[in-house]
Amino acid sequence: MPDEETAPLAGKLAGLTSSAIRDLLKLTAAPDVISLAGGLPDAALMPGPRIAAAAESALHSPAVLQYTESPGWGPLRDVLAGRESARLGRPVGVGEVFVTHGSQQALSLLAEVLLDPGALVVVEDPAYIGALQVFRAAGAQVVAVPLDSEGMRVDLLEELIAAGRRPAVVHTVSNFHNPGGVTMSPRRRRALAAAAEKHRFWVIEDDPYGELWFDRPTPEPVATYSPAVIRLSSASKILAPTLRVGWMVAPKRVCRAVELLKQGADLCGSALTQQIATELLADTEWLGGHIDTVRRVYAARATALVDAVTDEFGDRLRCSSASGGMFVWAEFTDGTDTTELLPRALDTGVAFVPGQAFAVATPYSHAMRMCFTTAAPEVLGEAVTRLARAVAQAPVA
Ligand code: PMP
């Protein structure tokens, strides 16, 4: 029997499509292409020897081979509660901390816990693709509120609510947005938290990049201002994604509901990687030095990329301020269409992600996301030279 004639998949998956851009991006792995498309932290900066030593010592105890508690290994939750208490400026109890398989799993479990089918979810435009995938797969109606240089346009969210479209959940990447590069201003943070309390919706503050600031620390988390804000963070960008250690700080009743679903999803995380993460996160002196190194290296790369773009394109290609995180969002001011540009750019040996890949309501056809984390400054300069060559070949709209 041909595969298509077997039983159908769930109807709620009908809205999920694979994009042509994703298919094109598979070509970015070619060895002669400098890829600014990937969105990966630099593996060369990850603390491999430290991780190996922590694994070795964890494996001396057979308990590490066992299942662990669904909300996370106790000592890891203790360490995270300490870190989050400092970040949020209030005592965070262990019962409010829940460890997930990367923060991506927190998004996925929260979608099940907080959303009924057809519920309204607000995301930022451009949006983090991983959040779009989760909310669409959950059968939510996804509505977008644009970003500007201060982050989410909370005034437009208020307008949406005034028009009778109250969301169940608002998702925000408050620091060094993926893909938009921006950080939400303190006044927007307060306004978003106040709106969540007034209109009784949840905010998911998705913050994997907050520690990667270059010149000055990020503002207080949105979660500082209200218990309606669930805060997600992750070890992926500060230690290594392979640990698959993310965490959530949420009211206890949310954590209890997430626990029931986590048991259905995977029973528990890995005791081994959680013990490794515990040892590294608890060693605050070493961790501080390690994160400082990552910041310094990424800052030099971000500056090299933005300087090269400015030298090569002047005002024709405007970049977001590269003040932290992993991405620069750049917009052509002369009508260059980035989806059309991508095949030519691949021919000249450079890759980026066209804005259209992150678009929800606004097409972002003149925008692109460039990731600066994995290439040395001179390689980033060469990438921009190649980009300029591709643009010179492209017809201007
Ligand atoms: N949220 C955002 C905004 C991200 O960019 C990412 C990683 N690309 C994640 C969540 C998921 O990260 P992880 O599951 O590795 O913690």
The CATH number covering residue 75 comes to: 3.40.640.10
* Structural contact between residues 176 and 183, judged by C-beta atoms closer than 8 angstroms: yes
> Is there a domain that residue 5 lies in?
no
Query: For 137-191, how does the pLDDT look when each residue is reduced to its tens digit (9 = 90+)?
Result: 999 999 999 999 999 999 999 999 999 999 999 999 999 999 999 999 999 999 9
Confidence of residue 384 (pLDDT cuts 50, 70, 90): very high
User: Which residues approach ligand 1 with their CB closer than 6 A?
Assistant: 39, 102-104, 128, 130, 173, 178, 206, 208, 234, 236, 241, 246
> Is there a domain that residue 352 lies in?
yes
Q: Ligand 1 atom closest to Cα of 107?
A: 10
Q: Could you tell me where the DSSP H helices lie in the chain?
A: 20-25, 48-58, 74-88, 102-114, 129-137, 154-162, 186-199, 252-266, 271-282, 284-313, 338-348, 377-393
Ligand 1 centroid to residue 246 C-alpha, Å: 9
| pLDDT for the residue numbered 93 | 97
Q: Looking at residue 372, which CATH number applies to its domain?
A: 3.90.1150.10
> Is there a domain that residue 309 lies in?
yes
Do 53 and 177 lie in a common domain?
yes
Indicate if the pLDDT at residue 13 is higher than 80: no
Do 316 and 256 lie in a common domain?
no
| pLDDT for the residue numbered 9 | 83
Last residue of a domain, one of 248, 282, 316: 282
Ligand 1 centroid to residue 7 C-alpha, Å: 33
27 vs 35: CA distance, rounded Å: 10
Do 123 and 205 lie in a common domain?
yes
Strand partners, 97: 249
47 vs 69: CA distance, rounded Å: 26
Last residue of a domain, one of 236, 258, 282: 282
Query: For 216-252, how does the pLDDT look when each residue is reduced to its tens digit (9 = 90+)?
Result: 999 999 999 999 999 999 999 999 999 999 999 999 9
> Is there a domain that residue 3 lies in?
no
Strand, coil or helix: 113: helix
Do 233 and 374 lie in a common domain?
no
* Structural contact between residues 51 and 240, judged by C-beta atoms closer than 8 angstroms: yes
Indicate if the pLDDT at residue 275 is higher than 70: yes
Do 297 and 340 lie in a common domain?
yes
Last residue of a domain, one of 240, 257, 282: 282
The number of domains in the chain is 2
Listed in sequence order, the residues at least 6 apart from 164 whose beta carbon sits closer than 8 Å to its beta carbon are none
Do 356 and 262 lie in a common domain?
no
Confidence of residue 3 (pLDDT cuts 50, 70, 90): confident
Do 327 and 216 lie in a common domain?
no
> Is there a domain that residue 251 lies in?
yes
Indicate if the pLDDT at residue 262 is higher than 90: yes
Look at ligand 1, atom 9, and give the residue with the nearest C-alpha: 104
* Structural contact between residues 210 and 233, judged by C-beta atoms closer than 8 angstroms: yes
Percentage of the chain surpassing pLDDT 90? 89
Q: Structural domain of residue 163, as residue ranges? A: 49-282
The token pair at 250 is 């949420």
Do 250 and 179 lie in a common domain?
yes
Do 380 and 258 lie in a common domain?
no
| pLDDT for the residue numbered 397 | 56
What are the DSSP calls for 263-307, one per residue?
Answer: HHHHSS--HHHHHHHHHHHH-HHHHHHHHHHHHHHHHHHHHHHHH
354 vs 387: CA distance, rounded Å: 13
Do 253 and 201 lie in a common domain?
yes
Ligand 1 centroid to residue 394 C-alpha, Å: 33
Do 23 and 111 lie in a common domain?
no
Do 307 and 198 lie in a common domain?
no
Query: For 102-134, how does the pLDDT look when each residue is reduced to its tens digit (9 = 90+)?
Result: 999 999 999 999 999 899 999 999 999 999 999
Query: For 49-61, how does the pLDDT look when each residue is reduced to its tens digit (9 = 90+)?
Result: 999 999 999 999 9
The token pair at 133 is 């995938």
| pLDDT for the residue numbered 18 | 64
pTM: 0.95
> Is there a domain that residue 4 lies in?
no
> Is there a domain that residue 397 lies in?
no
Ligand 1 centroid to residue 248 C-alpha, Å: 13
344 vs 341: CA distance, rounded Å: 5
* Structural contact between residues 166 and 199, judged by C-beta atoms closer than 8 angstroms: yes
| pLDDT for the residue numbered 130 | 93
The token pair at 357 is 């890949």
> Is there a domain that residue 18 lies in?
yes
What is the pairing mode between strands 327-332 and 317-319?
Answer: antiparallel
The arithmetic mean of pLDDT across residues 252-267, rounded, is 97
